[in-house]
A and B are shown apart, each in its own frame.
Chain A
């Protein structure tokens, strides 16, 4: 009896021992505790640097640093895969985005680590930045000569880097190298906007290494970002917004036809730009802000990215039309402020000039016709890409492909740049995809309503078992602001 009991106990201890200890592949990366910060927001993480050849064909050639951040799971034995997020732009930092994703990452961290890389050429990984004035050509009267000059300054500033190797095709190789060096079997990949292109190409190149994919605001394979796409989608978004205001009695009675207000305002600013004296939105100091039609375009383009922006646009247009320019001028300052230092223009050009610009079709070009942006953006891209070294692109990069991996596709109903149509195209391409359209929201919906919960469930399971996206239908638009105090009560 005694002996039996002892044997049993021995077996139990042994069993527990062997069951508890799961060997994790050790990380080759030297992770150290660090803080990652974006503006004022900071969070704890573990940071490491991975050296990668700038030219993938010369493994021993010039090396560039990839900055890697890991947020360790609180689980005793985390899953063998890591969750990664890829930011859009192209040219923006994935780590910066992740810092603000607390609400989304927290439930994921209960089961698996989060591993984020600043894509080469962005953020903390050899960012290809140009002098500031490069980034907001949209807001100024366009001067091609001045632009060419700035472009050549930019190119010489970036002459230490070989600009051909900052494309998506190279970046996905980096991402997989980071995965392997950090010791994970697979990645669960979230991409937003241009990041969806990276996520899809990663899935294409490394299907065995991809556990599941989430695409949020999809740039489907083959979508050309360099043609008239931005102009066309921005115009559609404004037209839809104008229609919605027309259908809503409170908006209609307060502002009438906002397309007409917009056109009137464009005409008057074209004829004579105004200079607004206003307290700076942050410092409160009196400043002078110039308002041209291009500033107006910038605000009309950027506000529909969120439902909050849509809610304010009719009021702001109306007020400006009546001669009260302060809110519009303040929005110009806010929009420019939010764009500042976000994009590494050099990386942006490397991507667009290799993957999009050479493939522009006539119909791409024509789609900007009759839009408020017109062909201004194309002109900028044309000039940029003529001077920019054309980068490396995998041969099948723009070809459709299929995959049996689960792909969750998210679209915002009123997305002014990657509308649900794009999601439908992507959903058709993948055999194992679900497309969730979140009502009333704009570009990038992962933080909206119950979507963080959907993402948590999908990432936890790695498939669509018991996946129920009905809750997303509860979302509503922020009601139009009728006066400065807000919507109807």
Chain B
């Protein structure tokens, strides 16, 4: 009994070491880790950089190029046109059929000044102008349209206020409310958009980091035919499984650490104005530890799933789908931003997501809630491991 135990422990370390060393030699694993530290943050920050630059290019007060604006009936409202030009619009000849031109995408928008404009403006009644646009065009293409709306509304309120003054009425009269707002979020926490993307990225890479090992050590070995000789060694099968799981977890955890460092460095050095977050070493360590139970869970899940499959290819496609599972609770997180509580902190992936967000924000999170998250994930991971052990103890595992 005693001898058996020692051999189990020794067997565990031998297999664990072998798997780790094998995989360090494997270019795929290393590539995944390299990708995790470089490509992950680059994906995220590259997108933000692109969005920010496009918006800047189009709206920057100083350097934006004039926005071309076709105007029908420009001669009917010279002062309105002067206002538009002053606000960096370049008035161009309108197309013959404005609606068709906007519909076909030849023009982003067309402004039409109606025949009644001059008459109505002088009479002090609202003067109609029509803005032809395509609401199915979305995102960055909409910037010019919004700038035009704002510019027209600014003209509206300027002339409106002066009309009141000219009649002896203070323009404040038509502004019954002064809406002041107080933001209680700390400055770091105002990066809501970026913060909500973080858990997604991190959880995804935890899974990716262990995926190849999980496949390789089970389905892969089976396909190569090396599983059978291994299982006939004088080591308990659960020891073999635990060692393989352990090796998977080591790579998954390494990837996690690298992603966290990558994000931290990107936050510090990425030339993006909207990012105003600092993720220091303490935050990285805290997040890393809090996410370890999820590393266990994710790897257990993958090893279990991989042991059902017969070939490398099959394992790859199943595990690919498995990635969706932990990302579902995170979608909820993006939409709702719940506060951490006993009700949600036992849920794996959601709770890690909350810990990541709170920690990055620099806001405290109750230690007992972190413990709950860690315990919850660990328990489920242990259950999955137990099932995997049971599977390994069947002869069918050799497939």
Contacts and interface: CB of A to CB of B under 8 A. Distances in A.
Nearest to A281: B170
Interface in A309-352: 311-312, 315-316, 326-327, 329-331, 334
A41 B280 contact: no
Nearest to B281: A17
B382 interface: no
A485 B268 contact: no
Contacts of B284: 13, 16
Interface in B68-102: 76-80, 82-83, 85-88
Interface stretch (B118-126, B138-146, B322-330, B340-348): B118-126
A83 interface: no
Nearest to A109: B187
A2 interface: yes
Interface string A90-108: 0000000000000000000
B182 interface: yes
A35 interface: yes
Nearest to A468: B62
Interface in B212-230: none
Interface in B328-361: none
Contacts of A456: 61-62
A41 B180 contact: yes
Residue of A12, A74, A282, A474 ringed by the most chain B CB atoms within 10 A:
A74
A485 B363 CA distance: 55
A195 to B, nearest CB: 23
A282 B187 contact: no
A42 interface: yes
A278 to B, nearest CB: 6
A453 B162 contact: no
Interface residues of A, number: 63
Residue of A17, A315, A489 ringed by the most chain B CB atoms within 10 A:
A489
Contacts of B173: 281-282, 284
Interface string B46-67: 0000000000000011110000
B122 A281 contact: no
Contacts of A450: 61-62
B122 A479 contact: no
B187 A330 contact: no
Residue of B87, B168, B265, B268 ringed by the most chain A CB atoms within 10 A:
B168
Contacts of B279: 20
Given A13-B281, A74-B276, A76-B277, A481 B78 contact: no
Given A12-B261, A450-B62, A489 B122 contact: yes
A23 interface: no
Nearest to B167: A484
A35 B184 CA distance: 12
Say what secondary structure dominates the interface of chain A.
Answer: mixed
Nearest to A22: B278
Nearest to B118: A489
Interface string B158-171: 11011101111110
A395 interface: no
Nearest to B180: A42
A110 B276 contact: yes
A62 interface: no
A2 B23 CA distance: 11
A279 B60 CA distance: 43
Residue of B21, B77, B167 ringed by the most chain A CB atoms within 10 A:
B167
Interface string A463-489: 000001001001110110101111111
Given A334-B170, A452-B61, A311 B182 contact: no
B168 A330 contact: yes
Contacts of B257: 9
A17 B122 contact: no
B395 interface: no
A41 B87 CA distance: 27
B167 A489 contact: no
A34 to B, nearest CB: 11
Interface in A419-460: 449-450, 452-454, 456-457
Given A16-B280, A479-B79, A489-B117, A43 B62 contact: no
A327 B264 contact: no
A74 B76 contact: no
A411 to B, nearest CB: 18
Interface in B173-222: 173, 178, 180, 182-183, 187-188, 190
B153 interface: no
A468 to B, nearest CB: 7
Interface in A68-100: 72-77
Contacts of A132: none
A35 B180 CA distance: 10
Contacts of A75: 187, 276
Contacts of A19: 268
A257 interface: no
A281 B170 CA distance: 5
B267 interface: yes
B20 interface: yes
Given A316-B166, A327-B166, A454-B62, A20 B86 contact: no
Nearest to B267: A76
A402 interface: no
Nearest to B165: A312
Interface string A7-41: 00100111011011100000000000001000011
B158 A308 contact: yes
B26 to A, nearest CB: 12
A17 B264 CA distance: 10
A43 B180 contact: yes
Contact of A489 (B20, B21, B77, B88): B77
A418 B389 CA distance: 85
B61 A471 contact: yes
A20 B278 contact: yes
**6 closest pairs, A vs B, by CB?**
A453-B61, A330-B168, A76-B278, A17-B281, A40-B178, A453-B62
Given A282-B173, A330-B168, A478-B158, 10 more contacts: A12-B261, A16-B265, A20-B281, A76-B268, A327-B165, A330-B165, A468-B63, A476-B85, A485-B122, A489-B118
20 contacts: A9-B258, A13-B281, A16-B265, A16-B268, A17-B281, A41-B178, A76-B188, A77-B278, A316-B166, A327-B165, A331-B165, A449-B61, A452-B61, A453-B63, A474-B85, A478-B162, A484-B167, A485-B121, A485-B122, A485-B163
